[in-house]
Amino acid sequence: MVIPGIELRSEPVPMPYRQALDAMTARNLAIQEGRADELIWLLEHPPVYTAGTSAAPAELLDPRFDVVSAGRGGRYTYHGPGQRIGYVLLDLKRRTRDARCFVHALEDWVIATLGDFDVAAQRSEAGVGIWTRDIDGREAKIGAIGVRIRRWVTMHGFAVNLSPDLSHFSGIVPCGIAELGVTSLARLGRQVDAQAWDRALLARTPEFLAKLVPSCA
């Protein structure tokens, strides 16, 4: 797929979180200054806990992995193998200066893609992110959303649990919500690799972008 003005990048091997954060920060500035195209970047990280701007120290239960201050909104989350990350760097001045619209469009994009793999997902009053029914029938988070907007250029994005080691989430209170769990496509019986996920997600990119208009509310 080719989308004029947007680079679509898919990494085949995990990239250290700090390296990706530095690259994303530099690209965000370059987009602000008109020196680079917008970017949709799909990748994975080695195990890491990241802290958003609202992270509470008490929610870091067992720092068994590297802990990085991410600068995005939200609280603690985990990234690791088997979890697909989407970093979305778009210039909202060209689209819609509406942060809520952007977050809702991200959520809709992931929800629609999960539907392509027969997983019914939705937003929830429990918190920002992507939620579904776990194998025990309880509501559980299958995808996290965390963004930052600098001079109307976005960065960070979403994380979707394809087949991560879910025990790694026990080192934190995921997104500050202790009473609900996390799940994955694999736990729900869907074996989806990164390549299949990326193809399905990118096929829906025009649909996602079409939501980023001034009248999106």
pLDDT in tens, 171-208: 998 765 655 689 999 999 999 999 999 999 999 999 99
Task: Report yes or no on 102 lying in a domain.
Answer: yes
Task: Report yes or no on 169 lying in a domain.
Answer: yes
Amino acid at 200: A
What CATH number should be reported for the domain holding residue 199? 3.30.930.10
Q: What pLDDT shows up at residue 190?
A: 97
DSSP strand pairing (66-69 vs 48-51): parallel
Task: Report yes or no on 103 lying in a domain.
Answer: yes
Question: What mean pLDDT value characterizes the chain?
Answer: 93
Greatest alpha-carbon pair distance for the chain in Å reads 49
Containing H/E element for 206?
Answer: helix 205-210
The two tokens of residue 50 are: 């990241």
| Phi, psi torsion values for 192, nearest 5 degrees | -125, 120
Question: How much of the chain, in percent, has pLDDT values that exceed 90?
Answer: 83
Q: What pLDDT shows up at residue 129?
A: 87
Q: What pLDDT shows up at residue 71?
A: 87
Task: Report yes or no on 66 lying in a domain.
Answer: yes
Task: Report yes or no on 1 lying in a domain.
Answer: no
Q: Is the pLDDT of residue 3 over 80?
A: yes
Q: What pLDDT shows up at residue 54?
A: 87
pLDDT in tens, 125-169: 767 789 999 999 999 999 999 999 999 999 999 999 999 999 999
Q: Which of the four pLDDT bands, split at 50, 70 and 90, describes residue 5? A: very high
Known catalytic residue: 175? yes
The mean per-residue pLDDT over the stretch 105-127 comes to 93
Task: Report yes or no on 45 lying in a domain.
Answer: yes
Q: What pLDDT shows up at residue 178?
A: 58
How many domains does the chain divide into?
1
Q: Is the pLDDT of residue 217 over 60?
A: no
The residue ranking higher by pLDDT, 44 or 180, is 44
CA distance 139 to 213: 31
Task: Report yes or no on 147 lying in a domain.
Answer: yes
CA distance 174 to 49: 10
Q: What pLDDT shows up at residue 216?
A: 73
Q: What pLDDT shows up at residue 87?
A: 98
Closest CA to 78 of 89, 67, 88, 86: 67
Active-site entry in 103, 162, 175, 202:
175
pTM listed for this prediction: 0.94
Which residue segment(s) compose the domain that 203 sits in?
6-210
Q: What pLDDT shows up at residue 128?
A: 78
Task: Report yes or no on 217 lying in a domain.
Answer: no
CA distance 187 to 140: 11
Closest CA to 9 of 44, 38, 45, 40: 40
Q: Is the pLDDT of residue 215 over 80?
A: no
Question: How much of the chain, in percent, has pLDDT values that exceed 70?
Answer: 96
